[in-house]
């Protein structure tokens, strides 16, 4: 791996955070000096708890524990407390261990009581939609 390596970690599911991670990796790889690798398999996610060669990890998955000292950006796309997903128990420690936490809306930031989270709205690629006349 070369310098300026980023790993984006997300579960492989249709849509949602996986599409976000895939699109973000593609865009960064096209337009920047950074090299991005998408980690979306169970084995890759498990490995990322223990080891990474990347200079930065950006995760939509609650990486906790993490046994490396690289910067971690944690993006939370929904209310993990209400969604009933079994990983919800790992989010509090992942939030604590993240260097930066981002959410897509002020509503979610307030709902999760994340005082220091940064709001970065989701982008919409209008090319993915048919044009509608009003």
Q: What is the pLDDT of residue 83?
A: 80
Contacts (Cβ under 8 Å, ≥6 apart) of 118: 100, 101, 102, 103
For the entire predicted model, the pTM comes to 0.85
User: Which residues of the chain are modeled with pLDDT < 70?
Assistant: 1-3, 15, 125-126, 132-134
Q: What was the pLDDT predicted at 132?
A: 66
- The three-class DSSP label of residue 107 is helix
Euclidean distance between CA atoms 116 and 23, whole angstroms:
26
């Amino acid at each position: 791996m070369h310098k300026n390596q980023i790993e984006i970690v997300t579960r492989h599911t249709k849509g949602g955070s996986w599409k976000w991670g895939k699109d973000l990796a593609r865009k960064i790889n096209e337009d920047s000096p950074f090299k991005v690798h998408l980690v979306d398999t169970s084995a890759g996610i498990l490995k990322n708890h223990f080891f990474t060669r990347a200079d930065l990890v950006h995760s939509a998955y609650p990486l906790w524990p993490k046994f490396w000292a690289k910067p971690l950006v944690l993006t939370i796309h929904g209310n993990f407390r209400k969604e009933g997903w079994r990983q919800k128990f790992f989010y509090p420690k992942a939030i604590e261990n993240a260097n930066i936490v981002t959410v897509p809306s002020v509503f979610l930031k307030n709902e999760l009581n994340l005082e220091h989270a940064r709001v970065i709205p989701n982008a919409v690629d209008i090319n993915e939609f048919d044009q509608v006349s009003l």
